[in-house]
Amino acid sequence: MHFASLLILALANTAFANSSTGCKKELPPAFPNPGESTPLDLPGTDRDYRLYIPSNYNPKNPTPLYISLHGANRNMDEQERLSQFSNPLFNPDGIAVYPNSRNGYWLSNPKAHTSRPNDLDYMYDLITHLEDKLCIDRNRIYAAGKSNGAGFAGVMACNATVGSKIAAFASVSGGYYNISDIPGLGPCSPAPRDEGYPFLEFHGTKDTISPYDGGGRDDKRPVIDVLEEWAGRNGCPKDARWNSNVTVFEHPLVKHASWNCGGKKGIVQHYREGDWGHCWASTVPNGDTEAFWKQCIPGKYVFNATEVIFDFFSGYQLKA
């Protein structure tokens, strides 16, 4: 056999080395057709979720999975419209899932009384269920969220069981609480791994729901504290400041900060959005420009957070 043929065979074997048990299986009848999304119930639970399958889905090809978590008082349908993870312009070939909280709030929010600690169990069961039914590349599972969902993505990252399944995390207008104060959670304890914990954060300086400097409703934590802690978990010295902090847009002002930790360039990144509020940045109107119209003014945005998120995720995967 020629060397080129051996190389192709080796790459194919590597791709399947961490593929899920759902590979080569037909789509379950209840699942959406490729190119569509649909609401589904998670078997054996009282929880539901919305699932999107890309139009080019092939059960023989391991496919990345993107998790998009809604904010407080929101739901899976609103999060699909807001985050646009089902939009082929941003996500041409990945599976997207929109989990639904039990009562409109995710674990870490003080109002999530019925979700402690079930939300973490739910996420683990949901990922495992999708791995069993779909051909998923288990090296390329990612999680992002808005507001309370963004904060919960951080809770997932801090959990050694659920977080160990996810290659990278993104947070938009995150509501960050002290998880040490939440019964059954304790301090942030991610599973040790050589790849580190890639973390991307977006936040508006005029956010009154999850204030940039902390406080507000339920006494949220300052954004910089959260970023520096993730830098520390990735090998940076305690309270390490960014390695670069540059202006990427002048009007309105958007600055991009980046931390290089443990030999990993840009493992923690942050977009500081001047004069913006509690918004998912988008160059076209979205759910936030309707719900938070005083803070999220249509036509004011100069970039798409979703595009940046997918670009960030593309740089990371777990080791087989």
* Amino acid 235: pLDDT: 96
Each of the 320 residues of the chain gets a pLDDT tens digit; together they read 554 444 344 444 445 668 999 999 999 999 999 999 999 999 999 999 999 999 999 999 999 999 999 999 999 999 999 999 999 999 999 999 999 998 899 988 888 876 666 899 999 999 999 999 999 999 999 999 999 999 999 999 999 999 999 999 999 999 998 877 676 677 899 999 999 999 999 999 999 999 999 998 788 999 999 999 999 999 999 889 999 999 999 988 999 999 999 999 999 999 999 888 999 999 988 889 888 888 888 778 889 999 999 999 999 999 97
For residue 81, give the amino acid letter. R
Instruction: Assess contact for 104 and 24: CB atoms under 8 A.
Output: no
Bridging pattern class, strands 63-69 and 95-99: parallel
Write the CA distances from 70 to 135, 139, 150, 202, 306, integer angstroms.
25, 24, 8, 15, 14
**At 167, is the secondary structure helix, strand, or coil?**
coil
pLDDT digits (tens, 9 = 90+) for 49-65: 999 999 999 999 999 99
Residue length of the chain: 320
* Amino acid 7: pLDDT: 39
* Amino acid 54: pLDDT: 98
* Amino acid 6: pLDDT: 41
Instruction: Assess contact for 235 and 218: CB atoms under 8 A.
Output: no
* Amino acid 9: pLDDT: 42
CA nearest 161: which of 199, 123, 195, 112? 123
* Amino acid 15: pLDDT: 52
Write the CA distances from 250 to 254, 255, 267, 272, 285, integer angstroms.
7, 9, 25, 12, 21
What domains sit in the chain, N to C, each tagged with a CATH number? 3-313 (3.40.50.1820)
pLDDT digits (tens, 9 = 90+) for 99-122: 999 889 998 888 887 666 689 999
